[in-house]
C-alpha cells in the first residue's frame, strides 16, 4: 500500500466525518447555487459513494430493510409535539449549534443562506418525526402504507425517487407499491422486503 493510497483512504474518512458533523451536504458548500443544487442527488451521492446517510439511515439484511432517522439529529420529538416557549428556546439553541458548526468549517455561505439551510433541515426532521407519530396513534403502533402513499402524505420528500436510486445502486428493484411499515420511535420505517 503506497502513501498516496493511504492519503486518499484517510482523507475520505475525514471527509465523511465533516459531512456527518455538518448535518449533510447542503451546509458545507461554499459555492452555493440554489438553481443547481438537488438535495436528493447530494443524499444519494453521499450515501452510495461516501457511506454517509445524512437525512435518514437504513440497514439491509436478508429479511427486512430498516430505515430510520440518523443517529445524529438536531431536533428532538418534543420540538414537534408541542409549541411552547420552552420548545421555541430549544429550537433557538439548535439553530445556534448548527450555525456554529458551519462557521467552524469556514463556510463562505451568507448568514441568510445558512439560516435557510437550517430551516430546511429542521423542517425535514419534523416531517420524519411526524411520520413516526402517525404510527404511534394506531392501536398496534404501526402504520402500513406504500412508498407512493408516503410520498403523497409528505410531498416535500420524493420517497419513490430516493429509494429507487439507492437500491438500484445495489442492483435491487423497488417500486412505488413497495410496502412500508411505519413504527413509533425515532422516525423508524421498516421496509418489508416482499418485492426485492
- C-beta neighbour count of 122 within 10 angstroms: 18
Asked if residue 34 has pLDDT above 70, the reply is no
Q: Cell triple for residue 121?
A: 433541515
- C-beta neighbour count of 188 within 10 angstroms: 18
Q: Cell triple for residue 41?
A: 442527488
Q: From CA 190, how far away is CA 70, in angstroms rounded?
A: 14
Instruction: Give buried/exposed letters for 89-109 (b at 16+ CB in 10 A, else e).
Output: eebeebbeebbebbeeeebeb
Q: In which residue are the cell numbers 443547481 written? A: 36
**pLDDT at site 68:** 54
The number of distinct structural domains making up the chain is 1
What pTM was computed for the model?
0.41
Give the CA count within 13 Å in the CB-facing half-sphere of 98.
27
Asked if residue 140 has pLDDT above 50, the reply is no
**pLDDT at site 63:** 43
Q: From CA 123, how far away is CA 24, in angstroms rounded?
A: 14
- C-beta neighbour count of 20 within 10 angstroms: 17
Q: From CA 90, how far away is CA 44, in angstroms rounded?
A: 30
Q: At CA 172, angle to CA 167 and CA 175, rounded to 5? A: 75
Q: What confidence tens digit (pLDDT) does each residue in 52-99 have?
A: 666 666 655 444 445 555 555 555 655 555 565 666 777 788 788 878
Give the domain range for residue 121.
3-192
Q: From CA 88, how far away is CA 117, in angstroms rounded?
A: 18
**pLDDT at site 177:** 81
Task: Give the gyration radius of the chain's Cα atoms.
Answer: 18
β-strand partners of 65: 60, 191
Least Cα distance to 74 among 58, 55, 59, 57 occurs for 55
Amino acid at each position: 500500500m503506497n502513501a498516496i493510497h493511504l492519503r486518499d483512504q484517510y482523507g475520505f474518512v475525514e471527509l465523511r466525518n465533516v459531512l456527518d458533523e455538518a448535518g449533510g451536504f447542503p451546509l458545507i458548500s461554499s459555492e452555493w447555487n440554489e438553481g443547481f443544487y438537488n438535495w436528493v442527488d447530494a443524499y444519494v451521492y453521499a450515501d452510495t459513494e461516501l457511506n454517509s446517510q445524512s437525512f435518514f439511515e437504513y440497514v439491509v439484511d436478508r429479511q427486512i430493510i430498516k430505515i430510520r432517522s440518523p443517529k445524529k439529529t438536531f431536533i428532538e420529538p418534543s420540538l414537534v409535539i408541542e409549541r411552547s416557549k420552552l420548545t421555541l428556546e430549544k429550537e433557538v439553541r439548535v439553530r445556534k449549534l448548527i450555525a456554529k458548526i458551519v462557521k467552524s468549517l469556514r463556510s463562505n455561505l451568507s448568514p441568510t443562506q445558512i439560516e435557510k439551510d437550517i430551516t430546511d433541515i429542521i423542517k425535514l426532521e419534523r416531517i420524519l418525526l411526524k411520520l413516526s407519530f402517525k404510527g404511534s396513534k394506531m392501536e398496534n403502533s404501526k402504520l402500513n402504507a406504500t412508498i407512493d402513499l408516503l410520498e403523497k402524505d409528505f410531498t416535500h420528500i420524493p420517497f419513490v425517487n430516493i429509494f429507487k436510486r439507492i437500491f438500484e445502486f445495489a442492483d435491487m428493484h423497488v417500486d412505488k407499491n413497495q410496502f412500508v411499515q411505519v413504527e413509533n420511535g425515532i422516525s423508524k420505517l421498516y421496509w418489508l422486503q416482499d418485492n426485492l
